[in-house]
A and B are shown apart, each in its own frame.
Chain A
């Protein structure tokens, strides 16, 4: 069965600093990978997704992620963080069958200091 590990529960960065959130997955074949963001009291919003092709994926709000098969990783990055980026970030992997079932990691809470 597929699984996702987000090793960092909580990360604090200064506004304007760069950001990298880690995600490791376990999956038998080429995975379908997603990053979602959840602001307080809000539902999850898709930041970006990887299905195939270019391993560097661009998303909304200036985020990008890189798929590294050799490391089973799909880390999320942003070159300069804004205070409004403070939220919880979830990495997810699509399931093994044809249906669109997602398995989520436990999330990383991002705090941004001014």
Chain B
């Protein structure tokens, strides 16, 4: 079974530029998550989708971050414009459903460096 796929693996941009990350979850997984992991910290949930609807985006900085999962499968996370403090690893995860007992499976992440 293929795992969660993410691209690109690395990205370096200048501040105020825009960037987009792509995630393809495990086949059949209804729930998709985007996490931000700043160096030295644990992952922090940015947004959670159930199929193509948003379940939780309370920690997403909506003035600059956006995410979509139009067909309920793959997803894109965008930052526009980027700030220095956005330098982090962006992890995508998926789970079969959205219950508390559902295991989340993580992709390898995209490491973003903002200069």
Contact = CB atoms under 8 A, between A and B. Distances in A.
Contact of A104 (B43, B48, B56): B43
Contacts of B45: 101-102
Q: Which one of A42, A43, A51, A94 has the highest number of Cβ atoms from chain B below 10 Å of its Cβ? A: A43
B56 A90 contact: no
B16 interface: no
Contacts of A51: 100-101
Interface residues of A, number: 24
A32 B101 contact: yes
Contacts of A32: 100-101
Nearest to B43: A104
B42 A105 contact: yes
A102 B42 CA distance: 10
A99 B55 contact: yes
A99 B55 CA distance: 8
Interface of B: 3-4, 31, 40-45, 48, 55-56, 91, 93, 95, 98-109
Given A41-B108, A99-B56, A101-B48, A94 B100 contact: yes
A45 B40 contact: no
Nearest to A9: B40
A46 B56 CA distance: 22
Contacts of B41: 106-107
Contact of A44 (B31, B43, B102): B43
Contacts of A4: 42
11 contacts: A43-B106, A43-B107, A44-B43, A95-B100, A98-B98, A99-B98, A100-B99, A104-B44, A106-B40, A106-B41, A107-B40
A88 B43 CA distance: 12
Contacts of A44: 43, 91, 93, 106
Contacts of B40: 106-107
Contact of A43 (B56, B95, B109): B109
